[in-house]
């Protein structure tokens, strides 16, 4: 059976709007206020400058907001300190099995090798059964939003999504110069930097915003943490 | 769906006598109103945000056909599949067909009003496929075999004691009375369901035409699990969910989340574009987007009610509504409750099937004031009331139709009006109790059955007014 629903629906919409034909268009159609290349670059420049000039202000705001949504934040000055905090968290939770992103910065500081020498095992997100056994998931953050205490994770082949989702504890290592003031600036930045040549074309399969540990208010509106996602979120901010 | 006939009158009368429900509603609603108020007040340009969101919605719905085509093209480009469903039956068939082709035995679902609307769970169960709701509130509702009573907090009408007893009965767990313990039980039970499921079904909060991205907002993580763990992901959206640009998202995330739960940002926001890529280590192998009409294009075709489609399902009008606060969600009889339910349900199901609902409001306008996309709900309610009165199928409204005509005649003829007033003043005497009319004879009993009426004054208001005016000025 071949259904004509596609055409039927589009036709009903057109008739409903008292139009004879579909209105299509290029970018002007997407946005009446579509700005020029130069304007876009200038705006990006302002956002980036803000991130640097207002860094300590944004850092404070971010840390404050993360705490408000029951996340834990540590600020560290060196790679050794990152390893120190991760080790502490691993010991506190008596973790045996970990999952980790194979992403740039984590590779650079050899975090996985460091933990392997300490006798910890690693599982691959390729197997969901293995992931279900992991005690802690370690990721980076691609961006942070100061106003809401949010970390933004962009999925790709080295940055799988389940590591920040399935283990009961999530450790995210972010850099202090990745903090953006608000979601409006963040989306402007994303819209002009992600996808093929920063054009939003061919986005990766998933972009995830994480603000605090998993929570629910479904039983008498009383806030309970860790219902499906991680019960704990630890954000280590590397401020070199 | 053909057999549905809702009765707000009957259901709300029952709800008003349910003391437990009244207590649950009072507590939840007072708490929520405070939290939401704070989240809105701390945002600098809330009013500007509402205006922007409204404009984008107007623009999008006015160009809906083009944006849906653009969305379709971009989802396909990202490796996803797009299906179009004219009505609920077709949507169920499409989803069931995907499941059967892949020999799916078990399905996990994250919260989606659209899937409630088409009663997808019935279809799955009818085909022998196990389906599990994974949002904690929805899970509770599914165990209790009930319907959600609020679009954001489905189990708002249940106390923790109710839930504890339910878990003891259905899950054979010991009696725990703390939300923390109950949540832990649900987490463990549902983890297994996620690992065993072949297919995940989700709703869509927004879809972005220019990138083919669907956006899901949640706090628990169950939607992330639903869209990550099983090998097939099916998302169901109404045609009105599309927005044009990626850059429009911060506006809609802000108004939705602050209005829905009073948070600045929900715990998780997922921007999903197609299935997992070949090089990705996790995520679903297949992504299907089902775009559903189910009566929405009919709403769009009427300019008086078109704005009903701007709704982003935040639930703010439910919490603010004095009627909802008293009667709860189930009185509205269907998937959408409160003021927005009162305007959407009659339009989606047919005015004859939900003819009570446009009247389930005092027209106080709180819903309009709180609505983040500025839907003029009271105005739409009036339009729908007119339709009910004029609808020949709605037999029970016959008396009302005559009453309205009589009323109009009276109001247009001053001398008749004065006469009617005098007559009423004399005739009312046997029925006055403490200055009010509490139970009048038929046909006026239809009014006094549910409310009283102030006794008609000896001196008409116009005369009183004249005297006051002379005094004051």
B30 and B148 housed in the same domain: no
Q: How many domains does chain B have?
A: 3
In a domain, B401, yes or no: no
User: What count of CB pairs under 8 Å joins A to B?
Assistant: 251
User: B283 — contact with chain A (CB < 8 Å)?
Assistant: yes
B146 and B290 housed in the same domain: yes
Nearest residue to A237 (alpha-carbon basis) of A74, A69, A63, A68: A74
User: B149 — contact with chain A (CB < 8 Å)?
Assistant: no
B182 and B35 housed in the same domain: no
pLDDT of residue B396: 56
Whether residue A210 and residue B210 make contact (CB cut-off 8 A), yes or no, is no
Q: E strands along B293-440, which residues?
A: 432-433, 436-437
In a domain, A118, yes or no: yes
Q: Using the predicted structure, report yes or no on whether residue A32 has a pLDDT greater than 70.
A: no
* Residue given tokens 């987490």 in the structure block: B187
In a domain, A2, yes or no: no
Using CB atoms and an 8 Å cut-off, which of residues 226-265 of chain B contact chain A?
228-229, 239, 244-247, 249-251, 253-254, 261, 263-265
Residues of A in contact with B191 (CB under 8 A): 132
pLDDT of residue A35: 65
In a domain, B306, yes or no: no
In this complex, the residue of A31, A186, A188 whose CB is nearest that of residue B244 is A31
In a domain, A144, yes or no: yes
Q: Which residues contact B146 (CB under 8 A, 6 or more apart)?
A: B330
Q: For residue B274, give the DSSP letter.
A: S
Q: Using the predicted structure, report yes or no on whether residue A28 has a pLDDT greater than 70.
A: no
In this structure, the strands spanning A143-145 and A179-180 are: parallel
Domain boundary among B396, B421, B436: B396
Whether residue B246 and residue A25 make contact (CB cut-off 8 A), yes or no, is no
pLDDT of residue B115: 96
In a domain, B127, yes or no: yes
Domain boundary among B371, B396, B421: B396
Whether residue B220 and residue A228 make contact (CB cut-off 8 A), yes or no, is yes
pLDDT of residue A24: 62
B163 and B270 housed in the same domain: yes
Interface test with A, best of B27, B212, B264 (most A CBs within 10 A): B264
Where residue B87 sits, what CATH number does that domain have?
3.40.50.10420
pLDDT of residue B280: 96
- Helix residue ranges per DSSP H, chain A: 5-16, 27-30, 37-53, 55-68, 79-92, 104-108, 111-117, 128-131, 183-193
In a domain, B36, yes or no: yes
B68 and B160 housed in the same domain: yes
Whether residue A161 and residue B297 make contact (CB cut-off 8 A), yes or no, is no
Q: Is the peptide bond before B443 cis (omega within 30 degrees of 0)?
A: yes
B385 and B441 housed in the same domain: no
- Which tokens hold the place of B205? 């909060």
B92 and B54 housed in the same domain: yes
In a domain, B454, yes or no: yes
User: B213 — contact with chain A (CB < 8 Å)?
Assistant: yes
pLDDT of residue B472: 62
In a domain, A82, yes or no: yes
B211 and B278 housed in the same domain: yes
In a domain, B305, yes or no: no
In a domain, A147, yes or no: yes
* Spatial distance between the Cα atoms of B318 and B278, rounded to a whole number of angstroms: 44
Q: How many domains does chain A have?
A: 1
- Which tokens hold the place of B417? 């009006």
* Spatial distance between the Cα atoms of B95 and A45, rounded to a whole number of angstroms: 46
Residues of A in contact with B159 (CB under 8 A): 220
Domain boundary among B335, B367, B396: B396
Q: Using the predicted structure, report yes or no on whether residue A30 has a pLDDT greater than 60.
A: no
In a domain, A154, yes or no: yes
C-alpha distance from residue B30 to each of B23, B27, B35, B37, B333 (Å)? 11, 6, 9, 11, 23
> For the packed helices B160-171 and B179-196, what is the interaxial angle rounded to 10 degrees?
40
In a domain, A130, yes or no: yes
B274 and B184 housed in the same domain: yes
B30 and B66 housed in the same domain: no
Domain that holds residue A100: 38-238
Going residue by residue through chain B (473 aa), what tens digit of pLDDT does each one get? 446 678 888 889 899 999 888 888 888 888 889 999 999 988 889 999 999 999 999 999 999 999 999 999 999 999 999 999 999 999 999 999 999 999 999 999 999 999 999 999 999 999 999 999 999 999 999 999 988 888 788 888 888 899 999 999 999 999 988 999 999 999 999 999 999 999 999 999 999 999 999 999 999 999 999 999 999 999 999 999 999 999 999 999 999 999 999 999 999 999 999 999 999 999 999 999 999 999 999 999 999 999 999 999 999 999 999 999 999 999 999 999 999 999 999 999 999 899 889 999 999 999 999 999 999 999 999 999 989 888 777 665 677 778 888 889 999 999 999 899 899 999 998 888 888 988 888 878 877 887 888 899 888 888 888 888 777 65
User: B269 — contact with chain A (CB < 8 Å)?
Assistant: yes
* Residue given tokens 């998302």 in the structure block: B235
Whether residue B301 and residue A16 make contact (CB cut-off 8 A), yes or no, is yes
Residues B280 and A157: beta-carbon distance below 8 Å = yes
Domain that holds residue B96: 49-296
B141 and B276 housed in the same domain: yes
Whether residue B219 and residue A216 make contact (CB cut-off 8 A), yes or no, is yes
Where residue A157 sits, what CATH number does that domain have?
3.40.50.10420
In a domain, B357, yes or no: yes
In a domain, A221, yes or no: yes
B29 and B170 housed in the same domain: no
pLDDT band at A7 (very low <50, low <70, confident <90, very high): very high
pTM (predicted TM-score): 0.92
* Spatial distance between the Cα atoms of B257 and A180, rounded to a whole number of angstroms: 19
In a domain, B307, yes or no: no
Whether residue B69 and residue A212 make contact (CB cut-off 8 A), yes or no, is no
Residues of B in contact with A214 (CB under 8 A): 219-221, 267-268
């Amino acid at each position: 059976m071949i259904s004509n629903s596609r055409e039927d629906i589009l036709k009903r919409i057109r008739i409903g709007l008292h139009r004879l034909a579909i209105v299509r268009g290029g970018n002007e159609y997407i946005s009446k206020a579509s700005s020029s290349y130069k304007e876009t670059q200038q705006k990006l420049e302002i956002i980036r400058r803000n991130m640097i000039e207002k860094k300590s202000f944004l850092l404070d705001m971010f840390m404050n907001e993360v705490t408000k949504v029951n996340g834990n934040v540590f600020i560290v000055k060196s790679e050794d300190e990152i390893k120190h905090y991760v080790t502490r968290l691993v010991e506190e939770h008596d973790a045996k099995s970990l999952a980790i992103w194979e992403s740039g910065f984590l590779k650079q500081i050899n975090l996985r090798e460091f933990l392997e020498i300490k006798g910890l095992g690693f599982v691959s997100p390729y197997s969901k059964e293995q992931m279900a056994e992991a005690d802690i998931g370690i990721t980076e953050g691609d961006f942070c939003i100061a106003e809401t205490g949010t970390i933004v994770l962009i999925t790709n082949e080295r940055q799988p999504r389940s590591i920040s989702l399935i283990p009961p504890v999530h450790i995210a290592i972010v850099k202090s110069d990745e903090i953006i003031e608000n979601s409006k600036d963040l989306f402007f930045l994303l819209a002009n930097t992600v996808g093929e040549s920063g054009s939003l074309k061919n986005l990766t399969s998933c972009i995830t915003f994480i603000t605090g540990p998993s929570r629910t208010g479904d039983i008498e509106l009383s806030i309970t943490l860790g219902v499906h996602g991680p019960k704990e979120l630890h954000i280590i901010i590397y401020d070199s | 769906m053909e057999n549905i006939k809702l009765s707000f009158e009957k259901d709300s009368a029952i709800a008003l006598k349910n003391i437990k429900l009244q207590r649950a509603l009072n507590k939840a609603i007072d708490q929520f109103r405070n939290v939401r108020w704070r989240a809105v007040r701390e945002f600098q340009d809330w009013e500007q945000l509402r205006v922007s969101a409204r404009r984008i919605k107007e623009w999008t719905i006015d160009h809906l056909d083009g944006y849906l085509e653009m969305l379709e093209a971009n989802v396909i480009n990202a490796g996803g599949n797009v299906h179009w469903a004219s009505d609920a039956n077709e949507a169920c068939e499409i989803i069931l067909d995907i499941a059967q082709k892949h020999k799916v035995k078990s399905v996990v679902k994250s919260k989606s009003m659209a899937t409630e609307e088409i009663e997808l769970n019935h279809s799955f169960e009818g085909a022998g496929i196990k389906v599990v709701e994974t949002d904690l509130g929805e899970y509770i509702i599914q165990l209790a075999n009930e319907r959600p009573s609020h679009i954001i907090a489905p189990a708002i009408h249940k106390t923790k004691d109710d839930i504890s007893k339910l878990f003891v009965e259905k899950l054979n767990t010991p009696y725990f009375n703390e939300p923390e313990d109950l949540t832990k039980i649900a987490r463990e039970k549902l983890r297994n369901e996620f690992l065993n499921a072949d297919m995940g079904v989700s709703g869509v909060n927004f879809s972005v035409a220019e990138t083919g991205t669907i956006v899901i907002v949640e706090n628990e993580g169950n939607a992330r699990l639903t869209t990550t763990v099983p090998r097939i992901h099916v998302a169901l959206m109404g045609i009105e969910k599309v927005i044009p640009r990626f850059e429009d998202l911060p506006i809609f995330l802000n108004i939705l989340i602050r209005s829905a739960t009073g948070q600045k940002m929900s715990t998780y926001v997922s921007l999903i574009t197609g299935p997992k890529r070949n090089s990705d280590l996790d995520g679903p192998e297949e992504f299907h987007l089902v775009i559903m009409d189910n009566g929405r294009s009919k709403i769009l075709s009427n300019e008086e009610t078109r704005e009903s489609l701007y709704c982003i399902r935040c639930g703010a009008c439910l919490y603010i509504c004095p009627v909802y606060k008293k009667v709860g969600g189930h009185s509205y009889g269907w998937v959408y409750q409160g003021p927005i339910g009162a305007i959407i349900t009659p339009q989606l199901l047919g005015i004859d099937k939900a003819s009570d609902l446009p009247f389930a409001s005092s027209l106080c306008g709180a819903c309009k004031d709180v609505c983040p996309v500025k839907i003029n709900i009271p105005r739409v309610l009036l339009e729908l009331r007119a339709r009910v009165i004029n609808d020949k199928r709605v037999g029970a409204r016959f008396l009302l139709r005559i009453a309205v005509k009589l009323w109009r005649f009276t109001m247009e003829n001053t001398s008749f009006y004065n006469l009617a007033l005098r007559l009423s003043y004399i005739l009312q005497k046997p029925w006055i109790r403490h200055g009010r009319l509490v139970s009048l004879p038929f046909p006026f009993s239809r009014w006094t059955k549910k409310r009283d009426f102030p006794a008609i004054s000896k001196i008409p208001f116009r005369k009183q007014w004249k005297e006051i005016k002379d005094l004051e000025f």
